[in-house]
Amino acid sequence: MAKFLKVTACLLAVAAPLALAMPVSAQTAAEAQDAAALSGVTPAGATFTLSPGWTRKEAPSLVELAAPEGDFRIAIVEVGAAADASAAAAKAWQLWSPSQTRPPKIVTARPPRNGWEERQVIDYETSPNEKRALYAVAFRKGADWTLVLIDGAEATADKRAAAIGLVQQSLRPAGYARESFAGRQAHPMDAARIAELRSFVEQSIKELGVPGAGIAITDRNGTLYAGGVGVRAMGKPEPVDGDTIFAIASNTKGMATLLLAKLVDEGKLRWDEPVTEAYAPFRLGSDATTAKVLVRHLVCACTGLPRKDFQVILNSDPNAAAKDTFAQLAVTEPTSGFGEVFQYNNLMASAAGYIGGHLAEPEVADLDKAFDTAIHRLVWGPLGMTRTTLDFGKATQGNWAWPHATDITGAHQPILDAGQKLNFAFTRYGAAGGAWSTAADLAKYVRFELNVGRLDDGTQYVSAANVLQRRVANVPVGEDRVYGMGMQVDRDYGVDVVHHGGSLAGYKSDIIIIPEAGIGAVLLTNSDYGQALLRPFMRRLLELLYDGKPEAASDVSAAAARYNAEIAAEAALVSVTPDPAAVAGLAASYYNADLGPLKVTRDAKETRFAFRTMSTPVGTRKNEDGTLSFVGLDPTLLFFPLVAGTQDGKRTLVVRDSQHEFVFVEQ
């Protein structure tokens, strides 16, 4: 299921809690982190940061951290010397939780970082019905190992991913000083450095198996480079260039909030206006929650609303995305407090676009058309983005990049039926992730951000104040990382990096703005494995600008090995020819009120599950607790599990995301 969730997510990293208050434009990532962070020290002197609300208990050789819910714990355990990471983990579990004796399912390396000479992630097998997050991260300096042990409820792990990641990101051995580019003069991105960056991307896509990538570099005066490496589709010769169209997914969000910023300038909207004043039909799950939501909260990922992506991709009506957006939100309540944690909700961003479109084009009754018209008229048109579109049919013609994923053997292949249907369904929710664009077009948008609202002719088209409001911290997204409104600001290395990622089936992308250097960049890829290139691309750009330590290439190499190992480990547990007795026990059709119908078809070649929007052949997987899961075999839905069972005498198939359970009951 993890792979499936990553496809639909615009995965930005993890967050730490911050009490919600009206932001001030001067607040930086570092200041927001300081407000949220609590420092910690292990018995051996390693330092880490944790989030408010967590409890801390110390014992010899370990520190235990417990989430506010009480059903999730982290332990930092120092075990001294050990033969390897697995042996160190076994010693750590014995010290902290002796009942946890499961052997590792897979151990995968991360490059040495943050003063650690070795880092390994140890995953353990869990069954879906356990609803349990269980893994360890091993850090070695010299002969001594420090383990971060994770064990608790999957729902809390998802909700508190911020705090969990913060502990891991910030753990450093005693005396280690972080690399910082603060105060350094950035080099110009001249032809030689651009060539180095392009070469890095070219080598990386070969290592990852990504067919192609679009790249652009701009400064405040104009585009320095817009081009590509690799091909638009595997097995075909047509190259990627600067005008090749890719789905940019959640990179649409920043452009949607730019539309809102323009409307604020025009007096048609206020950032601190209750959403119901801007658009009366807006509702969340209760009147009390609805009343708290201001316009700035629509794309802040700070309201505590969890994801509801399964409903969108498995049971949406692509021709009624606006209606579905507001209907789904009306039955959704937060699972955490306002501003308490970073929780990404695509439906809220979708609503932001529809509300902005309605205010900009009040005479257009159709909300989908109104948003399309408004973002073309007020954003893409003025910025000269002539190839950017919300039209799926128009985008997938001519010079466009076909999406790719890996099958159960680890082989890369073009995404066909299910993946394209998933992308079509999701891109109907325009502002959440519906745009298609090119490296050359996105360079214009990035340059507009660099110039804080000025067009290339010098016209101040959107006020600097309202452009910058979108970068103001609403909630932290990790150590020295905060989320604004469809924009993230990172200060990992002492300089602000404004960016946002995008993720759909077979498409991963990032836009990057480095104000202090006066440089921006675009990366578009046409493979799920492109996710492993996004952070290293940002890192390589910073290395070239500031003479940073060469880390990006090893990040890519480690990710390629990790992805392949993870697929191989899971594939070993799956039978691609499903268990005959289990298949015989299936009903012909099932139904779930949230996810709609599920039809089962069987022939001599395959057993197939068909949801409302897409279908996949399935295999079977015997879980550790004795249950059996049917798992997707289509590359887009690879390993997506549905657990077979019964309820009130009827056959069921149960699917879960981290915070919801959906039971399909036979019809």
Same fold, 2-13+182-566 and 52-159: no
**In the 8-state DSSP scheme, what is residue 589?**
E
Distance CA 387, CA 435 (A): 10
| CATH fourth-level superfamily of 2-13+182-566 | DD-peptidase/beta-lactamase superfamily (3.40.710.10)
Q: Which residues pair with 499 in a beta bridge?
A: 488, 512
d(CA 242, CA 246): 11
- Looking at residue 27, its pLDDT comes to 40
Measured CA to CA, the distance from residue 616 to residue 607 in angstroms comes to: 9
Between CA 66 and CA 41, with CA 12 as vertex, the angle to 5 degrees is: 35
Question: C-alpha dihedral over 626, 627, 633, 639, to 10 degrees?
Answer: -80
What is the token pair recorded at 226?
């817009």
Name the one residue in this structure whose structure tokens are 């050789």: 61
SS3 content of the chain, % helix, strand, coil (to 5): 35, 25, 40
- The pLDDT, as a whole number, for residue 361 is 98
**Per-residue pLDDT at 473:** 93
Say how far apart CA 61 and CA 114 lie, in whole Å: 21
* Distance in angstroms (rounded) separating the CA atoms of residues 463 and 261: 8
By C-alpha distance, which of 200, 176, 183 is closest to 113? 176
Angstrom CA distances, 264 to 231, 375, 431, 530, stand at 41, 14, 17, 36
Residue of 139, 67, 140, 138 whose CA lies nearest to 104: 138
316-345 burial code (b ≥16 CB/10 A, e <16): bebeebbebbbebbeebebbbebbbbbbbb
- The third-level CATH classification (topology) of the domain covering 575-666 is Lipocalin (2.40.128)
**What single-letter DSSP state applies at residue 634?**
S
Indicate the angle between helix axes 531-546 and 552-571, nearest 10 degrees: 170
Amino acid at 46: A
Q: Where are the domains of the chain?
A: 2-13+182-566, 52-159, 575-666
| Average pLDDT, consecutive stretches of 10 residues, N- to C-terminus, the chain (667 residues) | 36 26 34 58 95 92 96 98 98 97 97 97 96 97 98 95 92 96 97 98 98 98 98 97 98 98 98 97 95 95 91 85 93 89 93 98 96 98 98 96 97 90 90 97 98 98 98 92 96 96 97 98 98 98 98 97 96 97 97 97 95 95 95 96 96 94 97
Could you give the angle at which helices 321-329 and 367-375 cross, rounded to 10 degrees?
110
Q: What's the chain's Rg over C-alpha atoms?
A: 24
Report pLDDT for 37.
52
Class of domain 52-159: alpha beta
Q: Which of 172, 145, 138 is nearest to 79 (CA)?
A: 145
Q: What is the pTM of this model?
A: 0.93
- Other beta carbons within 10 angstroms of residue 187's beta carbon come to 14
Q: SS3 for 498-548, per residue?
A: EEEEEEECCEEEEEEEECCCCEEEEEEECCHHHHHHHHHHHHHHHHHHHCC
